[in-house]
Amino acid sequence: MTTSPRPPGHAPAQEQPSWVSCTNCRSLVYGKRYQRLLHVCPECGAHARLDAPARIAQLFDEGSVQYLDIPATQHNPLDFVDQRPYAERLQQARHRTDQHDAVLAVRGRIEGRQLTAAVMDFRFFGGSLGVAAGEAITTAAENALRDRTPLLLVTASGGARMQEGALSLMQMAKTSNALAELDEAGLLTVTLVTDPTYGGVAASFATLSDVVVAEPGARMGFAGPRVIEQTIRQQLPDGFQTAEFLRDHGLVDDVWERGELRARLARLLAVSTGPAAEWGSGEVDPVVRDSQLLDQLPAWDCVQLAREAGRPTALEHIGYWLDGFVELHGDRAGEECPAIVGGIGCLDELPVMVIGHQKGHTTTELVGRNFGMPTPAGYRKAARLMRLAAKLRIPVVTLIDTPGAYPGLTAEEKGQSVAIAENLRLMGSLPVPVVAVVTGEGGSGGALALGVADRVLICANATYSVISPEGCAAILWKNAAEAAVAADELGLDAASLLRLGVVDGVIPEPEGGGHMDTATLSDSVRRAVVAALRELRSAPDGESVAARRRRFRAFGLAEGP
């Protein structure tokens, strides 16, 4: 391992020109200002390419970088010759970049947090994945495994290196296997997609990380736009394969400005540090566990309060009581559902994964969030985040507030029932503490898909039901106007649910309902979650899954749960 401010043999950085012309909008930018802006155009926001040394200098704490020694690889395995011998091209690339190949592997710190990284350099054969590049990425992963640090991958590549034939192709499997070992070890992996990332890189290690983020405008795909257009003989939509397109289609978690990267990566890296053993001991549990102590409103009044537009949403709860929250998007299968939100943050220094239904307050917000009714992509996103929590061994907290799963045509075509069923099975098997809180409406299977938990709590004026009162009245009374009667018969209010054992406790609300004092309600939810996690974290390892399954196994038995 080599400790150096730059890779061994790397020449000093070239002097910044006095003026720089943006390659996107052609605006002239004063060179020193452009450098301070990290090569981002102040006029159009275009992010210029950075070489690997510049990227490392931008991301890592000064003086913390150590370059990893990479094992020797075959120099020119095919003796490939096109218009010029590959050996000559390789020598020229090494001379021009003063690097051995297209990837630099390093370890260091970002805002004091240790990690290992493999950073690609597009200057070297278009960042193509050859045997030396594949070895550097794999070496970085193996060092992360040995040192038990997170792994960061910064991608910039046109794909596999043709001049190395099938050996280049094998690097896709080699690097993917290296990431699998990090999955098995429970170590966080993050990919930063920069422009461009294509071919065998996109189809292997780049998209296998736990969290995949991209710089604005960065393009990623298996085939390039020209190849696709020539194949399908259609014009592609504007912005196709850009970072923003990928986020909207659930393929990357988010798009981060270059100036935000260090701070946001540091937030993610915080999941690798746990709190003290006495975590949560100072909080007073507000939960009521005896239904006779509840001053419960009529069920229909609870229905109205649960639907009150002013109640705090999942994102507002998260904003009230999570530090360093990093929202993650997408099901990684082509869709993003805004009705479910989720991500990683710290609850009083305890890293947690929070997932919740998201509605809104205004008509525009409600329409944009599909009124909190998730599509299959929403449940698959939730499942992806729960699997990540299980890998990282951090608790899961779910916030339930939905009238139900989206019942539309497209949802049925894309497997709504399957997505819900898979979440029920997954939640029952998560090897980490799980706490669910019904904060508003708990509508049918759409709610239960986030509700298979060790502790299920409910806000005092929230509801949880197999069907809406209106739906029940229309089916059984043949008259939707009997909804108030149906609500009472369904036992969907907090007191009834506590008596049935469906919920473990009730979180008190401010007088008049949670919408009257959202900060007070959210703080009560926070304290209830802390108290539940404090208890669950003290349980012996391996008991949570069995206890959770016993809890749900007992429902309906004569002796109750």
Contact 108, 65 (CB under 8 A): yes
Q: Which helix (H) or strand (E) holds 367?
A: helix 363-368
Q: For residue 44, say whether it is annotated as part of any ligand binding site.
A: yes
Distances (CA, A) of 139 to 4, 72, 75, 347: 18, 11, 18, 34
SS3 category, 381? helix
CA separation for the pair 536, 530 (Å, rounded):
10
Cα 528 to chain centroid distance, Å, stands at 25
- What's the number of CA atoms in the CB half-sphere (13 Å) around residue 510? 12
Q: Which residues contact 352 (CB under 8 A, 6 or more apart)?
A: 322, 344, 345, 346, 389, 394, 395, 396, 397, 533
Give which of 300, 307, 386 is closest to 340, Cα–Cα: 386
Distance, in Å, from the CA atom of 201 to the CA atom of 17, rounded to the nearest integer, reads: 33
pLDDT of 179 reads: 98
Amino acid letter for position 87: A
Tell me, what's the pLDDT at 294? 87
Read off the amino acid at residue 175.
T
Is 346 annotated as ligand-binding? Answer: no
DSSP 128-172: -B-HHHHHHHHHHHHHHHHHT--EEEEEEESSB-GGGHHHHHHHH
Q: What is the pLDDT of residue 2?
A: 54
Q: Quick check: 403 and 371 in contact, CB under 8 A?
A: yes
Angle of the 518-537 helix axis to the 314-321 helix axis, nearest 10: 70
Pairing between strand 323-327 and 103-110?
unpaired
Q: 76-104 pLDDT, tens per residue? A: 999 999 999 999 999 999 999 999 999 99
SS3 of residue 303 by DSSP? helix
pLDDT at 276: 75
Low-confidence ranges of the chain (pLDDT < 50): 3, 11
Residue 425: count other Cβ atoms within 10 Å of its Cβ: 10
Q: Which domains does the chain have, with CATH numbers?
A: 2-271 (3.90.226.10), 295-550 (3.90.226.10)
pTM of the model: 0.93
Which residue in 437, 346, 420 sits closest to 382, CA to CA?
420
Nearest-angstrom CA–CA distance, 272 and 93: 38
d(CA 469, CA 489): 9
**What is the rounded distance in angstroms from the CA atom of residue 186 to the CA atom of residue 184?**
6
Phi-psi region of 312 (alpha: psi -120 to 50; beta: other; left: phi over 0): beta
Structure tokens at 223: 């085939």
Q: What span, in angstroms and rounded, lies between the C-alpha atoms of 255 and 234? A: 27
Sign of CA dihedral 478, 483, 486, 492: positive
Q: 41: annotated binding-site residue?
A: yes
The reply to whether 22 sits in an annotated binding site is yes
C-alpha span between 384 and 396 (Å, rounded): 12
Distance (Å, whole) CA 125 – CA 129: 9
**What is the Cα–Cα distance from 320 to 397, expressed in whole angstroms?**
14
End-to-end CA distance of the chain: 57
Residue among 377, 59, 332 nearest 207 (CA): 332
Query: Cα–Cα distances in Å, from 535 out to 206, 354, 544?
Result: 38, 18, 11
Q: Is residue 160 within 8 Å of residue 199, measured between CB atoms? A: yes
Q: Which two tokens stand for residue 426?
A: 């997954």
pLDDT on residue 363? 95
Look at residue 369 and give its three-state secondary structure. coil
Three-state DSSP class for residue 370? helix
CA of 87: how far to CAs of 80, 90, 131, 133, 160, in Å?
8, 5, 14, 16, 17
43's CB contacts (< 8 A; 6+ apart) are 22, 25, 27, 29
